[in-house]
A and B are shown apart, each in its own frame.
Chain A
């Protein structure tokens, strides 16, 4: 059954790609400029979501019957969850030692 009101602006591949690229870029900018390690972790999650949107957009365009793109996005979501667990555990370890999660105070090792 066709929808009663056809969408005014059908969502095309371009919309998905632009959203994905925007999320990825915002996340990248955040990850490179922020100094709080939790915020950096969140920025990286935003980047991963940008990648997910890109995958799903491509998958819908390329091969509606084959689900590789969606499956990839699901795997990324799972790995991102594991990554958050590992990252927060490491951040807690650092917090125990110096009561701060600022990455620029982590200067025990000089670049």
Chain B
């Protein structure tokens, strides 16, 4: 048993413990900057364990094959560490105002990230379930963080109840899979499934997809997303929309590719249908939203639809495209949400119409939000454009042309509501100048995210190469 393989996760847990202890010993007066510094140290140490392992390139596994470390898991872990770092930087005044409880908040975010990192590394269903629940339960608390505000408490409760329901459905699927194969190891399941699809197996597959579909908010399991995204504190929404979603896709891809290659025809069909419905519903409902967080919630649902197109493609190239898409999506969505954290903080409103004339009041925020929205819509030369190209190209090559056509139509629809926000910010005159300056940490976080959006777009070939290399280790 090689416990050292857990070092990246343990570093995050240790950082969380240190933050909580430092808070206790300083009688609750630990400054925001000190907490951020400790969290950054934890994240950096965690990454420092991952990068040499990546360069060594040797896949290792431990705990009787329940936990694996290879290029695929390291890619996702580095992505999630980056996302966590940017969310903490970009949390702005929310962290400054969470008096007395900000150490707990940061510690809980670090522990959630550790759970998500365990999740992407699990190759055994018990480990997978425990990590999933560990992440979900702390997420429910994070969503309900402003517990004296009705919408935040309600967001937490809604997330919790629907998540518990989806976990139960997922578990029943796992139970059936265990009954059919007698295995809980993912590759053991693949070994046993040689006879093709049986009705029980199809039921298990459907239940699994329903459970995982909830985690990545695929339609029709998306009902919680707009409510939770709107009600939760904005930095937490940002975290949920990138880190949790990336982990969710990592799990879907891993389970489908390593445990269920025997029923690939069946799940490709189901995922393709999910993808088609998800992107269409997400985009159409996003058009009528007036609250920017709600609009972005539907936009993330639509983005999940595009990513599912890549999952449905299922080839090595498709997986590489999914990994690249998740990186592009992480940078872009963080850019959008960090900008919204600050804009909503200054204007006191999350309504799209109150963003009028923002470019005159806060040019950098308006520019960052505009770039993020254009990248989400998929305009060149931004990250979102190349992400869509790669995903659609992989899907065309596996004969999913109809899905790609639908995806392109959806991208055109999405431009409508993204452009509306930009129109408000740049074309409508400003009502009154908003006071206040942004915190330097927030500006730094926003700048890194926007730089990521440009870098992933301009050097897309290089990053796509990294993603494909990482994806290849999954099926080895």
Question: With contacts A47-B168, A86-B137, A86-B140 known, is A108 near B175, CB below 8 A?
Answer: no
| Residues 175-192 (chain B) with a chain A CB within 8 angstroms | 175-176, 178-179, 182-184
Please tell me if the beta carbons of B148 and A97 are within 8 angstroms of each other in the complex. Answer: yes
| Residues 71-111 (chain A) with a chain B CB within 8 angstroms | 71-72, 75-76, 79, 82-83, 86-87, 89-91, 93-94, 97-98, 103, 106, 108-109, 111
In the complex, which residues of chain B have a beta carbon less than 8 angstroms from the beta carbon of A20? 175
Q: Contacting chain A: which of B48-56, B226-234, B398-406?
A: B226-234
Please tell me if the beta carbons of A75 and B154 are within 8 angstroms of each other in the complex. Answer: no
In the complex, which residues of chain A have a beta carbon less than 8 angstroms from the beta carbon of B231? 108-109
Q: Which of chain B's residues has its CB closest to A89's CB?
A: B141
In the complex, which residues of chain B have a beta carbon less than 8 angstroms from the beta carbon of A111? 223, 226-227
Give the size range of B's interface with the partner. 35 or more
Smallest CB–CB gap between A56 and chain B, Å?
A: 10
Please tell me if the beta carbons of A97 and B150 are within 8 angstroms of each other in the complex. Answer: yes
Best-buried of A41, A47, A106 by chain B (most CB within 10 Å): A106
**Complexed CA–CA distance, A28 and B154 (Å):** 22
Question: With contacts A40-B161, A79-B130, A98-B150 known, is A109 near B178, CB below 8 A?
Answer: no
Q: Is there a chain A Cβ closer than 8 Å to B273's Cβ?
A: no
Query: Which listed residue, A17, A79, A86, A106, touches B154 by the CB 8 Å rule?
Result: A106
Please tell me if the beta carbons of A51 and B130 are within 8 angstroms of each other in the complex. Answer: no
Q: Which of chain A's residues has its CB closest to B168's CB?
A: A47
Please tell me if the beta carbons of A54 and B160 are within 8 angstroms of each other in the complex. Answer: no
Tell me whether chain A's interface is mostly helix, strand or loop, or mixed.
Answer: helix
Question: With contacts A27-B168, A44-B161 known, is A109 near B182, CB below 8 A?
Answer: no
0 or 1 for each of A34-46: is its CB under 8 Å from B? (1 = yes)? 0001001100100
**Complexed CA–CA distance, A24 and B174 (Å):** 13
| Residues 85-139 (chain B) with a chain A CB within 8 angstroms | 125-126, 129-130, 133, 137
Question: With contacts A79-B129, A109-B154 known, is A62 near B179, CB below 8 A?
Answer: yes
Please tell me if the beta carbons of B154 and A82 are within 8 angstroms of each other in the complex. Answer: no
Best-buried of B125, B153, B184 by chain A (most CB within 10 Å): B153
Q: Which of chain A's residues has its CB closest to B181's CB?
A: A62
**Complexed CA–CA distance, A54 and B59 (Å):** 35
In the complex, which residues of chain A have a beta carbon less than 8 angstroms from the beta carbon of B137? 82-83, 86
Question: With contacts A79-B129, A86-B140 known, is A109 near B151, CB below 8 A?
Answer: yes
Please tell me if the beta carbons of B161 and A24 are within 8 angstroms of each other in the complex. Answer: no
Q: Which of chain B's residues has its CB closest to A44's CB?
A: B164
Q: Which of chain A's residues has its CB closest to B230's CB?
A: A109
Best-buried of B129, B144, B175, B183 by chain A (most CB within 10 Å): B175
Smallest CB–CB gap between A89 and chain B, Å?
A: 8
Smallest CB–CB gap between B56 and chain A, Å?
A: 32
Please tell me if the beta carbons of A94 and B157 are within 8 angstroms of each other in the complex. Answer: yes
Question: With contacts A75-B126, A106-B158, A109-B158 known, is A83 near B164, CB below 8 A?
Answer: yes
| Residues 150-176 (chain B) with a chain A CB within 8 angstroms | 150-151, 153-158, 160-161, 164-165, 168-169, 171-172, 174-176
Q: Is there a chain A Cβ closer than 8 Å to B147's Cβ?
A: yes
Smallest CB–CB gap between B222 and chain A, Å?
A: 11
**Complexed CA–CA distance, A83 and B168 (Å):** 12
Please tell me if the beta carbons of B176 and A54 are within 8 angstroms of each other in the complex. Answer: yes
Q: Which of chain A's residues has its CB closest to B159's CB?
A: A90
In the complex, which residues of chain B have a beta carbon less than 8 angstroms from the beta carbon of A103? 157-158, 161
0 or 1 for each of A15-32: is its CB under 8 Å from B? (1 = yes)? 001001000100110010
**Complexed CA–CA distance, A103 and B155 (Å):** 11
Please tell me if the beta carbons of A41 and B164 are within 8 angstroms of each other in the complex. Answer: yes
0 or 1 for each of A44-78: is its CB under 8 Å from B? (1 = yes)? 10011011001101100111000011011001100
Please tell me if the beta carbons of B168 and A94 are within 8 angstroms of each other in the complex. Answer: no
In the complex, which residues of chain B have a beta carbon less than 8 angstroms from the beta carbon of A69? 178
**Complexed CA–CA distance, A75 and B231 (Å):** 31
Query: Which listed residue, A72, A87, A108, touches B164 by the CB 8 Å rule?
Result: A87
Can you identify 21 A-B contacts, CB atoms within 8 angstroms?
Answer: A20-B175, A28-B165, A28-B169, A37-B161, A44-B168, A47-B172, A48-B168, A51-B172, A55-B178, A57-B179, A72-B175, A76-B171, A82-B133, A83-B133, A89-B141, A90-B140, A90-B144, A94-B157, A108-B151, A108-B154, A109-B154
| Given A24-B168, A28-B169: 18 more A-B contacts, CB < 8 Å | A28-B168, A41-B164, A58-B182, A68-B126, A68-B183, A71-B126, A72-B174, A75-B129, A75-B130, A82-B133, A82-B137, A86-B137, A87-B160, A90-B160, A93-B147, A98-B150, A103-B158, A103-B161
Pairs A-B, 8 closest by C-beta atoms: A58-B179, A47-B168, A109-B227, A54-B175, A62-B182, A51-B171, A93-B147, A90-B157
